[in-house]
Every structure is written in C-alpha cells, then in structure tokens.
Amino acid sequence: MTITLTRDQAAFEPTPASSIWAPLLRSPARIAGRIPTVVRRRAAALVLPLIPIVTFVALWQFLTAHNVVAWLRFNRMPTPMSVVDSLTSRISSGGYYDDLLASLQRILLGFGLAAAVGIALGILIGRSQTARMTLRPFIEIVRPIPAIALVPLTILLFPSSEQGIVFITFFAAFFPVVVSTIHAMESLPKVWEEAAKTMGAGRLSLLWHVVLPGALPGIFAGLSVAMGVAWICVVSAEMISGQFGIGYYTWQAYGLLDYPGVVVGMISIGALGLITAWAVERVGRRVNRWLPRASQGAPVSSTWTG
C-alpha cells in the first residue's frame, strides 16, 4: 500500500538529527579554512611547544604540593613558585648576568675554535687519501675520551682555569664537527664533481662552488650537535674547576642547600642552550637556503653518534 503525504503533512515531518547538526559541525572547518596558512603555522609554532611545558609544570606543582613519595621523593623538591621567587631575586642581582656572560663567552670561544678547526680538518681528511690514512686513526683513538676527564690535565697544563675550560669546550665540540664534515664529504655524489670538471672547473673552484655547498647540510648538522655537547661539558668543567659561570653558580647553590637556586641554574643553562642552538639552526637555514626543505623553514639537522 502506498501512502501519499500532502504538502502540509510533509512540512511537519521530523528532520533527521544528522541534518540538523551538520552545519554546526562544518562551521569549525569553515572557520579554520578562512584563517590564512601563515597565521595557522605561526599559531601552531607558538602553542604546540607550550603544551609539554605547561604539562610538565602542572605535574611538577601537583607532585611537590602533595609531597608525593613513591619510587621518587618529591617531598624534597622545590615547588615551581619557590623557583620563580629565586629566579626573580637572581635576575635583580648583577652577579647572575656575570655568570651568564662568562659561560656564554666560553661557549662561543670554544665552539668557534672547534668549528673552524673541525671543518678545515674534516675537509682535508674527506678530500685527501693521505690525510685520511694519517689522521683518521688518531682521531678515532682520542674521540672516545670524555672531555670532562681532561679536567685534571688542564689544571696541570694551563696557567688559569679559564683557558682550561675553553679547551675542554673546544675538545668536546671538535669531534662532532670533524666527523660530520668527513661523512658529508664522503656522501657527496661523484656525478657532481664529474659534471663540474667537464665544464672546466679547477680544484679551488670545484671545492668552493660544488663540494663545500653540497657538504654544508651535513656540516651544520654536526655544528648543531656540537653546540649541545659543548654546553654539557662547559657546565661540568665550571662545576669542577671554575670560579664563576652558570655551572659554578649551580654547584654553589647545591652546596648551600639552595635547591630552588639549583633549578634556576638548570633553567638558565637550558635557556642559553636553546638560544645558541636556535642561532646555529638559523645560520644553517640561511646558508642552505637552496635546499627545498630549508626554503620551507624546516631545520637542518640529522643524527650523529659518537
């Protein structure tokens, strides 16, 4: 049997729920689609890094406020607010900035020397079979030695602790740079050099216009790793033999049972490391702007082990 509805009856026909909510569900997608891509990317770059930071601080506050004692003992840890108070008092003192500048100066000097020597030596070893056979075994013998293990020797060798700390920083940052440069040289496609030679390129022109630009992504990957390693070692050296610096301040705070001050030192080290690593990444993007990923704003990085 067929039932025919009149127009008035059809007007009172109940509407399915999916058709009612569909415009409301589609509205967020429409709003997001109207936001420019650049704004969305910048908003994501600002908001996404804050998610783990806020989560970490909230968890830290909860565990320390309730004096949680399980496998880890949070009843002795300073609360976030006590760290903020300690940071505020340290910022208002001039000694805090002196320690920051001392550590930053040591990093820049040791890292700069390591970058210059490591890149030059890496290019030499990567391009010369004789240099590879002569220097590579010695580098591989010395490379596993922890830089912090050289502190007793630097005390004996150098007339001041400042020079010894800079040397330890240089020693730590040197090997990531030189090894990454060697690998970058060895991974260059041979067809690039052959094509340049057929076009009449000489040795210096080949090195400057083909080899070095092609190896720069790998070189900056090593520089990025070297910066992180340099911060680890300079802070450790300042704790052992330094008389000032952010590592020395952190160790002194621990000796005085100033645990909020210890956390302030750790946060300061992390902030300085972030700034210097960001600077290396920015320079790498500028230098490697001919790369497709670099032109899109992707960081130049890779994995280095050693």
Residue 192 burial (C-beta neighbours within 10 Å; 0-12, 13-18, 19+): middle
Q: What is the pLDDT of residues 123-136, one digit of tens each?
A: 999 888 898 999 99
Integer angstrom CA distances of residue 304 from 90, 184, 230: 36, 12, 15
Give the residue-averaged pLDDT of 44-69: 89
Residues 6+ apart with CB under 8 A from 210: 192, 193, 196, 201
Integer angstrom CA distances of residue 66 from 56, 58, 76, 84: 16, 12, 11, 19
Q: What is the pLDDT of residues 89-112, one digit of tens each?
A: 988 887 889 999 999 999 999 999
Alpha-carbon 23 to chain mean position: 44
User: Rounded to an integer, what distance in angstroms lies between the CA atom of residue 185 and that of residue 35?
Assistant: 44
* pLDDT value at residue 28: 52
Is 301 or 258 the better-scoring residue by pLDDT?
A: 258
User: Rounded to an integer, what distance in angstroms lies between the CA atom of residue 91 and that of residue 293?
Assistant: 39
User: Rounded to an integer, what distance in angstroms lies between the CA atom of residue 103 and that of residue 244?
Assistant: 8
